Amino acid sequence: MANAPSAGWAAADPRVLALAAQVTESKEQDIPLLLLKLKGILNSASLGSEESKKIKQDVYNYDLTQYCMLVLRQDHSRLRGGWATAAQLAEILSHCCVGLEVKEDPEEFHNKFLPSAIDNLLFLGRRLQARFIRTIKDEEKQDFLHWFQTVADAICWLFGGHIQLATCVLQNDHFLQLLITDDTETAIITMSILHSIFRVNRAKREQELQHLKKQKEDESLKLQMQLQRQRAMRLFHERQLAVLEIIHASQVNKYMEEMEGKSALTIQRFWRGYRARRNFHQQRQSLKEYKAAVVIQRAACKFLEKRRRRRPLSPWKDPKGSTDERRLALQQKVDDYIKLHPASQMSEEMSKELHVQAQEKLAEFLLRSRLDQRAAQRRETLMAQVNTDVELLMNAPGLAEATEKDLDVFLSRSIPVATKARQSHNTMLKYTRWPWWKKLGVEFEEDDVIPDDALHAELGTLFIGGNKSF
């Protein structure tokens, strides 16, 4: 599982947050279809852009890639969406892992998560191959072949982005079983994976050779520069010695002073040139700002001049008052409407009695609705806890292989649960600040139940306050 988000991270994508909350609250059989929404979220950003990297980082941080990897192990013949959903999830998992830059604990991502992902993809491919071989109908065989091709492309895309996974693929038992099959069509697709692995290895080897060649060239160039510098220093010292041999001893000090003066002039000339160039760049920026200010002032002056030249608006004139004939016509319309729509007659006692009955029914309804809601919340909380505990126990390693990180999984809640609880808690706080008449209006408009946001908020409060082990 990924680490908890730290306070220094930027705000996560709201679509990823909402999907993580839905996955946490949904039943196990509905999770595969919910995870298909990741495809639209990933396609919303261009490949390789900073937005795409940020989305993949959020998907990994909120454990949605972990959900995709676990779903691939399930028997999709009994789940909604079937094997087509499994093939699409394999493609989504592959695209989420390529281009992902894990900043916290990258060793766990490269050494544990990626090998597990490639193993689950190969396991899914082996299942699809077996289904293809056992299927008799031509239409179903074509569907399974298409899904197997999709999974194979996802595997090639994954180890194409992470070259170190090629060794894991070649040593995997599921991949060896894919190669041993007697079926021709699936064997051709499997061989394409093998060719892709060899192509990636050749590219990696050529890249390493190019890197070594460039490194040798850089070292050779550095050595040549060092030799040239040493040769220049040697020639300089030889010239100095030759000059000292020619010049009389009494003139040596004078010669050295002249050389120092020339050196000082050279240093000053270079410094003045550098300072002049720096001042020129600064003045050029100031000149741009000055020209921009002049353009803005000129446009503002033209606008004000146009406003001054406009004709003044005509003064406001009050509307004409209504005449007696107009008043009589309006009164006649009112009387005709009253005759056509007479008011219903009801005594004050009947009105009070009807009001009391309405209040009693309303109180009875609210009490029954609140009890039903609390019972439903309790059932959903227990079911969510049971599903999470069962999933953790099924994925837990043996006691001999357990580590401290495995123990932390049972001591802390999942990141999507905490995120949804916090979001729901804020929603509940907003709901409690509504006036009483607005709450009644919402309840009667939505079939006499509390809004979903408030129900989710109370469920999140139960997760935070009353169930620490969830």
pLDDT digits (tens, 9 = 90+) for 395-404: 777 777 777 7
pLDDT tens digits for range 163-200: 778 777 777 777 777 776 667 777 777 777 777 777 77
The whole-angstrom separation of Cα 27 and Cα 30 is 5
State the residue for tokens 């107009």: 326
**78, 86 contact by CB (below 8 A):** no
- Report the mean per-residue pLDDT for the chain: 79
Q: In CATH terms, is domain 14-210 a member of 1.25.10?
A: yes
Higher pLDDT among residues 220 and 408, named by residue? 220
Q: Tell whether the model's pLDDT for residue 467 goes beyond 60.
A: no
More confident residue, 420 or 206: 206
Please report the pLDDT score of residue 371 as a whole number.
92
Between helices 138-161 and 184-246, what is the axis angle to 10°? 10
7 confidence band (pLDDT: 50, 70, 90) = very low
Q: Do residues 415 and 61 lie in contact, with contact meaning Cβ atoms separated by under 8 Å? A: yes
Which of 89-103, 249-263, 354-368 shows the lowest per-residue confidence on average (mean pLDDT)? 249-263
Does residue 409 register a pLDDT over 70?
Answer: no
Identify the pLDDT of residue 376. Answer: 92
Using the predicted structure, report yes or no on whether residue 450 has a pLDDT greater than 60: no
- Give the span between the Cα atoms of 416 and 231, in whole angstroms: 67
Contacts of 415 (CB under 8 A, 6+ apart): 1, 2, 4, 5, 20, 61, 62, 63
Quickly state the pLDDT bin for 447 (edges 50, 70, 90).
very low
pLDDT of residue 184: 72
- Amino acid at residue number 318: D
**Token digits for 78?**
């009994």
**Which amino acid type is present at position 64?**
L
Mean pLDDT of 336-350: 80
Report whether pLDDT(423) > 80: no
Band the pLDDT of 444: cuts 50, 70, 90: very low
pTM for the model stands at: 0.45
The stretch 105-134 carries a mean pLDDT of: 86
Question: Region 313-319: what's the mean pLDDT?
Answer: 56
> Would the pLDDT of 372 be above 90?
yes
**What number is the average pLDDT over the span 462-467?**
43
Which among 63, 5, 68 has a CA at the least distance from the CA of 32?
A: 68
